[in-house]
Structure 1
Amino acid sequence: MEASERRRLRREAAEYYRGHRVAERMEDALNALFPLHPEDLYGELANYFSKFSKAPVICKLVGRKVLDGVGQPTLEVEVYCTVKNYEKRICSTVMATHSQIPENALPETIEADEKERNDSVHTAVEWVNEALNTMLRDLDPADQCQADKMLGEYFANKIEEKKEIEKQKEKKKKEEEAAKVTRGPPSYYSASTPKQKNRGKSGKKVSVEVNPSPPAEPAEPVLRGSLAIGGTSLAIAKAGATISHVPLYLHTALLKHNQGSPKEMTLPLPMVTVLNCEKNSLTKLKLVKEVMLIPPVELSCQQGIERVLDIQKEITRMLEFPGKRPGSQADSRKGKAQKTPPPPLKRISHLGCLTIGYDSLEQLLLQLQRACNNIGLELGTDMYLAINCAAHELMDYGKGKYEILTGTFKSPDEMVAMYVEMINNFPFIIALIDPLRKEDSEQWSSICCALGSKCYLIAEDAATQISKLKTDQNINIAMCSGVVLKYINQTKVSDLIELTGILDGQRRVTILGSSERESSDESLVDLAVGLGARFLKLGGLCRGERVAKYNRLLAIEEELAANGALREEKLEFVDFAEESQPGQLPDVLPAPEQD
């Protein structure tokens, strides 16, 4: 072998062993710095360098028409973000819709409502896919405040556009009417004759009718396409939570408390609807729209819902087999069975509960008491009641009174006296929702002073117009214990955060309420927990879109309990008659015998 060849081999061998030793030393150094498995090491390095990558931003919004829980059209909004230079679908949300059209409305009314709903959803899809998609592109999904500000400005511009269009239509209409008047005397005189007759008729009505009650405020017009605002705001909140790797309820709490992470959180008490009472049925009772069960605070949500289910099953059994229920013979001996026979079982409401009618409030409450007693429970100790009166549906404007039973009318002042007697006789009722119209502000003050220390007086109808709720850091409704907030139409997440903050400062409770036409989206429960709502009004324990929300509440409870972050909180009533006194503390939920 030549000398040059031997030198080349020695050089290659030296380089090989030198490189091997360097590799060993580098591996030893890496093991010392990162004592991990190679796969874990690569993950750690990836996480380290990912800190220097660009933060995720919104790259696309997608809106589409889907169906809600009762088969009606609604809006779905999807959020796509650019994550590490790749487009990725982050989340979606499906909006619930709100309708004041009753289930037993006339066919033409239902048809008109469905057409308006279809048009509104179609417009909302266009807004999301076109204007909002362009406007919110490149926005940080965690910047909820900026997103909602932009959405609010866009919606305000749409309101102004609609006003301008209506103004032009009104102007054109007046011009056409003026043109008709100037066509000649024959047309003028023929048109004036029926007008004079109408004036005579209207004059007679004015002389006969006396309406001491203030008229109802007109319903807030819903701008076609407004679902796009609420749907996009909520979808961005879910995207921000996903990007931050936290659940939506914690993300909402961080937004409310300015990024201060709460160490403990409370769960809202469920208001579970068990009966939906028909006000237009052949039965007499009109005062009650919904009957809800509220479990005691001592129970977990799991225990409370299981107890509600037991009561619900017993009520159903009593309605299906009235002659076989315990205590029926004793009632018949007293002559009660013939006087107040139980109403027949009807159907499952869109609220997820039984729809039924009653002839009197006592008949309803006694039947609930019997159902509880049959399974060894007692109202006022093992379970409480809340009643949704929906008083705005009871007013007879011709008489200026509320029709509480068929043919039985009461003035606003008489309604207050009736409620005081009701709570004294049935102290297990701890919440009345909409006991009066929002226009009867003096009577709201009276009932709060009379009953505020015994039960919650809650406004729900007043809370549907979220855009009008807030004025100068105040809740612009009559005196009440709390407000039901619903996430519908143009509601934004920032609106709920602001409103619940004001309610907290005014010692009013927040109730997050489910819409009458719900979707399968569970976000409402996360919002309620994150915002610190005291109650959660979801409807009944039936229908998949409602049961899904109860399941989400149970999952959050399990997660908070596992993390040691679940805090218990007592129910507190506010004594409106004495709260102005210094040092006056709210009354804790009393036992029935204390009333």
Structure 2
Amino acid sequence: MKIKELKAREVLDSRGNPTVEAEIELADGSKGRGISPSGASTGEKEAVELRDNDAKRYGGKGVEKAVSQLNNEVARSIGNADFDSQAAFDHFLIDLDGTTNKERLGANAILAASIAFARATADAKKIPLYRQLVEREQYIIPVPCMNVINGGRHADNNLDFQEFMIAPHHAPSFKESIRMGEEVFHTLKNLLKSKGYFTGVGDEGGFAPNLNSNEEAIEVILEAIHQAGYTPGTHISICIDPATSEMWQNGRYVFYKSSQKQVSSEELIMLWDKWIKQYPIVLLEDGLGENDWHGWKEMTIALGSKVELVGDDIFCTNPKIIAEGIRQGIGNSVLIKLNQIGTITETLDAVKLAQENNYNCFISHRSGETEDTIIADLVVATNAGHIKTGSGCRSERVAKFNQLIRIEEELGGKAFFAGLNTFKI
């Protein structure tokens, strides 16, 4: 695949902050475009975005430096080079950057180019993006895990925990699963309104009310599931991402938005155990912080046979860190975020490593999302079985749902909906 032109520009993400968009045109006229998302609660070991730090533009968040890197150094270095695979192109970018965390060119620039190349290649072959990413005989359409109540760093409310999600898994298809989820989402809005709660939404489209407790978030969701005509645990279950790395202070976890209470790792594990027994929770992401490796081991021993324990901040979609986590018996699932590692190739390597070691993979968006729908194709390509891309509103979120509806329709009998199989431990 000979690249004729690479160009980049500064565009906006869902928060109205700048991010990098790249376009690639191949010698045969095929084209592809990619946009890099951005996170708010980020892991310490994530690949590094390149920002301008110019206070006079976008409060220092501009990305003109990253754009310039693509338009100048990267474009010149590519020249008329041929790349025979996605891996060849991505490793070219990695080697050109020359750092361990992509800080020189910027992971936001590198990822945008990586996505653009994948789309251009798919266009050249006249195949769908998911098939360009991974060619297989049968694909799995994922269960959507919809973030219906936001807290933590994603909302200006009093909830310490970041994401309360519903997983409408008992359905014959993705299309019907989304219908179920949306019905609960709209029922929840009316229910919150009837209780006198605020129904504005947070960064990921979930409602962001001030509630009496973190537990009330789950209880009001369960009430909405009932009111929508479904049975919690049978038709629709609960997934939680408390984002506890944000709560970690001096070896303890601080309920920093509500009571200011401090608890140990053991006490937080006991809380999760209590919740799992009390509520139909099937997935717990980042139940402990990224630097609490000992706590993670204890949590995996205590809860690993009861629930899907997803590592986000602790793994950062990094194959080297994931390998160490597998060796130590940390969790049983890996959150997959493209911009945590910075290229499609490294992302697919992370998924392959996890799946070969019987870990689940949970494909994820970022809180600063874009209209780019690549994670919809990625979750199908990898047969990961479940995806989180936000709530039942905001176009940068539902764009991924709409893409999955199209993919399911296109594949027909060559795919099946993950449904209940996703959450069997």
TM-score, normalization: structure 1? Answer: 0.64
Aligned to 1:292: 165
Root-mean-square deviation (CA, aligned residues, Å) is 2.9
Aligned to 2:4: 59
Pairwise CA distance, 1:224: 6.2
The letter of the residue matching 1:351 is: E
Out of 86, 90, 105, the position equivalent to 2:31 is 90
Aligned to 2:288: 436
Out of 202, 211, 216, the position equivalent to 1:358 is 211
Aligned to 1:47: none
- Contact kept, 8 Å, 2:10 with 2:67, in 1: the verdict is yes
Cα deviation per residue 1:6-59 (whole Å; 9 max; x = unaligned)? Answer: xxxxxxxxxxxxxxxxxxxxxxxxxxxxxxxxxxxxxxxxxxxxxxxxxx5211
Q: 1:514, 1:275 → 2: CA distance?
A: 16
| Pairing 1:320–2:193 present | yes
5 Å-filtered alignment, 1:453-492, equals: 453-464=305-316, 466=318, 469=321, 479-488=330-339, 491-492=342-343
Out of 248, 256, 260, the position equivalent to 1:395 is 248
The letter of the residue matching 1:315 is: L
- Contact kept, 8 Å, 1:475 with 1:502, in 2: the verdict is no
Cα deviation per residue 1:475-511 (whole Å; 9 max; x = unaligned)? Answer: 5886112111212176111101111110011111111
Aligned to 2:121: 240
Pairwise CA distance, 1:298: 3.9
Q: 1:489, 1:361 → 2: CA distance?
A: 28
Out of 76, 95, 104, the position equivalent to 1:153 is 95
Q: 1:494, 1:477 → 2: CA distance?
A: 25
Q: 2:176, 2:278 → 1: CA distance?
A: 28
- Contact kept, 8 Å, 2:155 with 2:203, in 1: the verdict is no
SS at match of 1:385: strand
Q: 1:222, 1:441 → 2: CA distance?
A: 26
Change (3 A) 1:281 1:275: closer
Pairwise CA distance, 1:140: 3.9
Aligned to 1:81: 26
Cα deviation per residue 1:107-164 (whole Å; 9 max; x = unaligned)? Answer: xx9969944421xx211211111121122233445521211111110111xx39xxxx
Aligned to 1:414: 267
- Contact kept, 8 Å, 2:198 with 2:210, in 1: the verdict is no
Change (3 A) 1:303 1:143: same
- Contact kept, 8 Å, 1:122 with 1:225, in 2: the verdict is no
Unpaired runs of 5+ in structure 1?
Answer: 1-55, 102-108, 161-219, 255-261, 323-341, 574-586, 590-595
Pairwise CA distance, 1:452: 1.8
Change (3 A) 1:223 1:294: farther
Change (3 A) 1:528 1:136: farther
Q: 2:83, 2:20 → 1: CA distance?
A: 20
How many pairs align? 414
| Pairing 1:276–2:150 present | yes
Change (3 A) 1:352 1:525: same
Change (3 A) 1:290 1:525: same
- Contact kept, 8 Å, 1:73 with 1:117, in 2: the verdict is yes
Aligned to 2:40: 99
TM-score, normalization: structure 2? Answer: 0.88
Pairwise CA distance, 1:547: 1.3
Out of 558, 567, 573, the position equivalent to 2:416 is 567
- Percent of matched pairs sharing the same residue: 23
Q: Which has the larger radius of gyration?
A: 1
- Contact kept, 8 Å, 2:152 with 2:243, in 1: the verdict is no
Cα deviation per residue 1:216-262 (whole Å; 9 max; x = unaligned)? Answer: xxxx79556332211111111111111111100011113xxxxxxx2
The letter of the residue matching 1:145 is: A
Cα deviation per residue 1:360-391 (whole Å; 9 max; x = unaligned)? Answer: 24322222222122222111111010011111
Q: 1:403, 1:127 → 2: CA distance?
A: 41
- Contact kept, 8 Å, 1:520 with 1:548, in 2: the verdict is yes
Pairwise CA distance, 1:570: 6.2
| Pairing 1:446–2:311 present | no
- Contact kept, 8 Å, 1:142 with 1:237, in 2: the verdict is no
Unpaired runs of 5+ in structure 2?
Answer: 43-52
Q: 1:551, 1:284 → 2: CA distance?
A: 32
The letter of the residue matching 2:169 is: P
